[in-house]
Structures are given as structure tokens and as C-alpha cells.
Structure 1
């Protein structure tokens, strides 16, 4: 018999890792997920099924949202000035890496010749991810399928307009564009080296393995120090804490899905502890 307060680990797959936040009779189970995995990763869905039993709501991570048609029109209009090509606005060594990766994945470089460096980087990474079979939705969809079976309501922690981000990217300087192009290529190469391992570690609840892989990724992310990016991270963290507070106060049991990288880092959990909530770590992180 499965306990309603402890999730027993059995079988080959011991993940995903679960965090438990409690206050009085209120419980929020947090499922740590990867932002991207290999396709259709196998994991212990019985564990998720157990914590969904009796849950009132599944909370998805904050999302940036906008009208699809408007976004497509906006993105497709981002082109270089007449006479310029992608080669002209990127560092020679990075353009050489881009050509090598294009050849590796069977992608025609000419498709990006008239894109700005940032848009080329975004589109190129999406194409590589598709060819490689990476997915950002298979795990979430599997969890939501279980939630539907239990008739659990689903909502996002928060929704933000995407237009400020698009406008900021469109105003990026040449130097910012070169930096984003380079760091995106770094990310593609990192994914190629680690995606299978990351997915396997996640599926087996091996948080020590995940931490080791993350520690090896020291390259900065595209525009991560920009004020808008910092504001998004701050708002996302504050809105997540506020939603956990609301859930603990209003319901007996809720389930929340958050990036496992955020949970491993621990800042969010420290904020919850500071408010007097009991945070129970996965077994692999308990000292």
C-alpha cells in the first residue's frame, strides 16, 4: 500500500526527485524536471500517480506568453541590413563552429544567412534539438495525463507577456548578438555531450549526477545578466513562493512542477524555510 505522506522508491526508475513542503495539514509536492530531455524518457510514474491522489491543483512553471501569429510575424521580420550576412556579424571562430555543427546535423547554413546573430542562434538551436530528438514537453505531458486521470485542476504559477523580451532582443547590440551566438553554440555542444546522461540521471533520481553535470557547464547564458532577464528570474521566484504559500493555506494537497536546476540550487527552498515552512529534500540530497 502506498503511503500518502511518503513516496516509496521501487523498480528500475527512481525518479523524478520529489521535494515536499508542508505547513500544518497543507502539503505541496514539488516535481523537479529538466527543461529538455531526450524523447519520451521513462520514469517511475507510480510515484507521480501517488502524489496526485487527492491533490487539488497541479501548478506549472511560470510562462511567457503572446499571440502566436504576432510572435511569428515579429520574429520573421528580424533580418540583417541589406548587404550583410551572418558571417559578417559573428566572430570567425564561432562562424566556423556553426558551419561544423551545420554539417554534423545536416542543416543548410544558408537558411540563416540573413538572420541577425541572435535569431540565427535561436532558430539553429531549435533545429538541432528537433533533429536530435530533444523535447521540452514529453515529461510535462506525461504528468498532465496522470493529472487528468485524477481530475486534478491545472494552472500556471504565473503568466508574463513575451513582448518585452522580444523587443529587448530586437534592440540587442552587435556585441550582445555575437555573445549570444557563441553561447548558444556552447549550449548545443554541451547538450550533445550530456543530454543522454542528464536524462538518465533525472529518470533514476540521481541528483548528485545532475549536480556534477551542471557544475561542468560554466559558460554564461545569452543575456543572462540583462536587467529584463534578472527581473524575470526575480518575479518568477517571488510568484512561485507566493503560489506555494497560497496552496498551503487553501488546500490539503497540491503538486507543483519546477526546474530541477532551481531546486538543486536551493535559493527558492531557503526562502520557504525562512517563512517557517518545512522543506523535505529527496533522499539523495539529505545529509
Structure 2
């Protein structure tokens, strides 16, 4: 399972079928909420700011052809300024830049179709039968939610009607922002700017799922939506306890401390949320259950093609895929490619990846 790939698939299914849901008048919960404890200690993490270089690049090579891979991480410091001279110079002499693998959902329904489906899409985000969060979970769990909601979201009654999966995602997003963390620290935007300045176009790596009947997709979601309490609980755990560890990992990426990234465990929140999505009946109906395997196959094929055609290429992958014994780079190594971590390169070729750019 690759949790970074499919965590937002549920939201993508809904957004592919309709426009972004509009806010409606909030509904008041129908039952009395449990009391919220007065004092809850939440440790505020400290993250780096200013100019950072990030980690070194992984090197995949065969027959004189090289693919340089940047390991990405989420979350990262929100106020860092990433400037990697190695990445800049590698991109400048690359013939091809591969995007991170992603899911593409295709649903061509037109403007009027979106207008008609909008109410249904909004309804898919809410709990069935008009229930509020305190009616779909036990009292201790809801009490934990109220504490964190008050701290990071505030007095938003509308979110009380959302499914736990959507509420958890909103809480997580707000908690990151409040603790000076962001999804990618501007890394993807910086890479895109470097590619554009070099006159190139990124090569998309994607698995495409076409939704022929978006209305039926929404019905399938409502009828067989994920059982997402485990995802909700893991998100509460992450926001309550894991923010300092997330900050440490973010700082380790920013400063290029690969050893800290290897030893600092990641949160299991994403795994729980991915399992909630891919095990749901609607995911199997729409062909979303095998997304991880499909995206892995698409990226490995794109990497092999780039290594065959180009002397130098560049790609980005989540850091866990670079370090995992069964990750994407491990798959290439098993197929006869040489894979070297930044530490291995430092031991043999300390100046690798910083040669002057050559004309393409």
C-alpha cells in the first residue's frame, strides 16, 4: 500500500463529478455534546525557516544513462525557502522531467451537468440520514474531536455534519497551518519554475480512471462509502501527539539529514485513511482499489523509458519510496539498474550532480 498516492482519491471522485461544494447554512447538532476538558497540553513544534538546501539526490543509472530522483516529504516547513543548486543544475541539463505519479479522474459532464450534480456532491460529503459527528462515534472520541476542533477550526457547526473522513482532513490541514507546516513547502512549484525556465515541459506520470456516469459514481459512493472511524481516530492521534515528530521530519528534510529521516517514524494516519478508501465498496466499483499497483507500474515504466532515451533525466518521488526495501527504486534495482543514495555517492563521487549545464 502506498498511502501518499490514494489518500485523496475519495475527494477526487466527488470533485470529478461536480464543482467544489458550496458552503451552506450550518445545522445545529441534534444531541447534547459531551463536556470538553478545560486544559489539554499540546506541544508546539518548532520548524526551520529561511533558505534551506534539502536532501541530496538519489542516482539511478544504467549504460551511462542517469535518472536523478529528489525525495519529497509532506509536511514541510511552511516558511522555508528551498534552494538546491544540485537540483537546479541537474534539471538544466536534463532531457526529461517526470512528475510524481498521480491519479487522474476524467469525467466530462459539462457546465450544466456540474450545476445539476452540485447538490448531490455536497450531500456525499455529509453523513447519511442527516447525522452529526457525535451521532456516528462514541462519546470519548467525540470529546477528543471537540478539543482539537476548538483549537484549530473554531466554531464551525457545518463541519459537524461531515463524514469523519472529510472532517479529519480539514482538521489535519488546519493543524499543519497553525504549526507552520505545509503540504510541500513550495518544492513542487520551485521545480516547475526551473523546468519552465529551461524551456521544458514536465512529463506526467499518471493512472487515468474515466468515470462514464458521474451521477452513478456519487450514488455508489453514498451507498458504499468508507467506514472511516479508524482514519478519524488516527488523525486525532496525529494532531494530538505527532506534530512534534512531523516537525522533526520536516526539519530533517530541510537540512538534508537522511539518517534522521530513516530513524524518525512517520505517522500511520495515512495508512488508516487509505485503507478506509480502498476497502470501500464504491472504490471497487469505480476501479480505485488497485491505484497503488497501477501507479507504481506507470512510474517504473516511465523511469525505464527515460533511462533508455536520455543521458540525464530528473524525477521526484516521496522519500519513503526511495528508502523502502520494496519501494519504486528497489523495483528498478531488482531489474538491473544501479541505485545509489546520496551517502553512497558522497563516498565515491563527491562532486556528482553539479557539473555545468550542457545544451540539450
TM > 0.5 fold call: yes
Shift of 1:202: 0.3
Give the conservation status (yes or no) of the 8 Å contact 1:56–1:153: no
Residue of structure 2 in register with 1:149 after alignment: 197
Residue of structure 2 in register with 1:282 after alignment: 342
Distance 1:98 1:210, change over 3 A: same
Distance 1:102 1:284, change over 3 A: farther
Unaligned runs of 5+ in 2: 1-50, 348-360
Residue of structure 2 in register with 1:113 after alignment: 160
> Which of 243, 251, 254 is matched with 1:192 structurally?
243
Question: In terms of mean alpha carbon deviation, does 139-148 or 119-128 score higher?
Answer: 119-128
Name the larger-Rg structure: 2
Distance 1:141 1:106, change over 3 A: same
**Any idea what the Cα deviations from partners look like across 1:169-206, whole Å, max 9, x if unmatched?**
64235xx2212211222233355222322221001211
How far apart, in 1, do the equivalents of 2:231 and 2:156 lie? 18
> Which of 325, 337, 359 is matched with 1:266 structurally?
325
In the alignment, is residue 56 of structure 1 matched against residue 112 of structure 2? Answer: no
How far apart, in 2, do the equivalents of 1:28 and 1:169 lie? 40
Shift of 1:262: 1.3
Cα RMSD over matched residues? 3.1
> Which of 208, 215, 222 is matched with 1:160 structurally?
208
Shift of 1:22: 0.8
TM-score (normalizing by structure 1): 0.81
Give the conservation status (yes or no) of the 8 Å contact 2:54–2:255: yes
How far apart, in 1, do the equivalents of 2:245 and 2:121 lie? 30
- Aligned to 1:203, what secondary structure does the other structure show? helix
In the alignment, is residue 182 of structure 1 matched against residue 233 of structure 2? Answer: yes
Shift of 1:159: 3.9
How far apart, in 2, do the equivalents of 1:238 and 1:104 lie? 42
How far apart, in 2, do the equivalents of 1:284 and 1:198 lie? 21
In the alignment, is residue 250 of structure 1 matched against residue 313 of structure 2? Answer: no
Question: In terms of mean alpha carbon deviation, does 106-115 or 252-261 score higher?
Answer: 106-115
Shift of 1:241: 0.9
Give the conservation status (yes or no) of the 8 Å contact 2:106–2:209: no
How far apart, in 2, do the equivalents of 1:80 and 1:106 lie? 19
How far apart, in 2, do the equivalents of 1:236 and 1:190 lie? 31
Distance 1:270 1:121, change over 3 A: same
TM-score (normalizing by structure 2): 0.66
Residue of structure 1 in register with 2:181 after alignment: 134
> Which of 58, 62, 87 is matched with 1:23 structurally?
62
Give the conservation status (yes or no) of the 8 Å contact 1:34–1:202: yes
Shift of 1:20: 0.6
Residue of structure 2 in register with 1:88 after alignment: 135
> Which of 71, 86, 90 is matched with 1:47 structurally?
86
How far apart, in 2, do the equivalents of 1:74 and 1:85 lie? 18
- Aligned to 1:31, what secondary structure does the other structure show? strand
